[in-house]
Amino acid sequence: SAVISQKPSRDICQRGTSLTIQCQVDSQVTMMFWYRQQPGQSLTLIATANQGSEATYESGFVIDKFPISRPNLTFSTLTVSNMSPEDSSIYLCSVRDSVTEAFFGQGTRLTVV
Amino acid sequence: GIQVEQSPPDLILQEGANSTLRCNFSDSVNNLQWFHQNPWGQLINLFYIPSGTKQNGRLSATTVATERYSLLYISSSQTTDSGVYFCAVISSYNFNKFYFGSGTKLNVKP
């Protein structure tokens, strides 16, 4: 199983600012993903983080708002840009290899005031 | 994409009771997982179960892929079992995306 360290675990941010969330995995993994979970809702996929190339975004999510980096097979960052209160959510990093078991980081609970 | 439906949406149990959570999915899958989300938001892996039956302590799960459903059994429930249980699947036709159900919110009362 993969061990994922996600930082920060929580933050309170002012509207209009940006927050970068880090995801570090203890082993090389093929696929890394970023999810958003709005209050009381299920998880929604933001994007697939591709190593060495631009991330693949889901419908409704754009690179200018959620820039993602993945410099290697064990690390990725998600930035939430120009935040508004509607961005208050839990953001989760996830990893897996193809169709095998997926693992999640502990999540980042973001509150925008 | 695949539709994933979980039932019931909410469940209240007295400590010590048993329960069954259900996950229906609309198409062929290569991966099915059950997760428990604790009150701090962390997703805990319970079972990786694309088919068959598995048991882990008081929890067990069964997936009948041909009939497109999975069941999660919780026996002798404890207050620490409270939280939200999610089912998630990967389509046999698109390995990239993990489709989540809407979850079952469980509250176990002492």
Flag whether B9 is in a domain. Answer: yes
Do the domain assignments include residue A75?
yes
Whether B66 is covered by a domain: the verdict is yes
CATH number at residue B98: 2.60.40.10
- The answer to whether the beta carbons of residues B72 and B32 sit under 8 Å apart is no
Among B25, B32, B31, B21, residue whose Cα is nearest residue B83: B21
Asked if A101 and B45 come within 8 Å (Cβ–Cβ), the reply is yes
User: pLDDT, tens digit, for every residue of A31-88?
Assistant: 899 999 999 999 999 999 988 889 999 999 999 999 999 999 999 999 999 999 999 9
**Residue B56, in any domain of the structure:** yes
HEC string for chain B:
CCCEEEECCEEEEECCCCEEEEEEECCCEEEEEEEEECCCCCEEEEEECCCEEEEECCEEEEEEHHHCEEEEEECCCCHHHCEEEEEEEEECCCCCCEEECCCEEEEEEC
Structural tokens at position A46: 């933001």
pLDDT confidence of B22, banded at 50, 70, 90? very high
Q: How many domains is chain B partitioned into structurally?
A: 1
Residue B109 falls inside a structural domain: no
How confident is the model at residue A30, as a pLDDT?
86
For residues B95-107, average pLDDT: 92
Domain of A26 in residue numbering reads as 19-99
- Interface contact flag, B31 A101, Cβ < 8 Å: yes
Looking at the structure of chain A, the number of domains it has is 1
Could you tell me if B100 lies within 8 Å of chain A, comparing CB atoms?
A: yes
The pLDDT value recorded for residue A99 is: 62
Does a structural domain hold residue B28?
Answer: yes
CB contact under 8 A, A107 and B98: no
On the question of a cis peptide bond just before residue A8, with omega within 30 degrees of 0, the verdict is: yes
Question: CA-CA distance, B18 to B20, in Å (whole number)?
Answer: 7
d(CA B30, CA B51): 9
pLDDT band at A97 (very low <50, low <70, confident <90, very high): confident
Residue A3 within a domain:
no
Over 80: is that where the pLDDT of A98 sits? no
Q: Is the pLDDT of residue A96 over 90?
A: no
Q: Does B103 touch chain A (CB under 8 A)?
A: yes
Which CATH number covers residue A31?
2.60.40.10
Q: Is residue B51 part of a domain?
A: yes
- Residue A12 domain-assigned (yes or no): no
**A106 within domain boundaries:** no
B37 is a domain residue: yes
- Buried b or exposed e, range A51-82, using 16+ CB within 10 angstroms: beeebebbeebeeebbbbebeebbbbbbebbe
Please, which residues have CB within 8 angstroms of residue A23's CB and are 6 or more apart in sequence?
A4, A5, A6, A32, A34, A75, A76, A77, A78, A93, A105
B40-87: per-residue pLDDT in tens?
889 999 999 999 999 999 999 999 999 999 999 999 999 999 999 999
Is the CB of residue A37 less than 8 Å from the CB of residue A46?
Answer: no
How confident is the model over A15-36, as pLDDT tens digits? Answer: 999 999 999 999 998 889 999 9
Residue B82: which domain range?
4-104
Residues with Cβ < 8 Å from B77, sequence gap 6 or more?
B13, B15, B16, B17, B18, B19, B58, B106, B108
> Best interface-test mutation with A: which of B7, B31, B43 has the largest number of A CBs within 10 A?
B43
Looking at the complex, report in whole angstroms how far the Cα of residue A101 sits from the nearest Cα belonging to chain B.
6
Residue B86 within any structural domain of the chain: yes
A62 domain residue, yes or no: yes
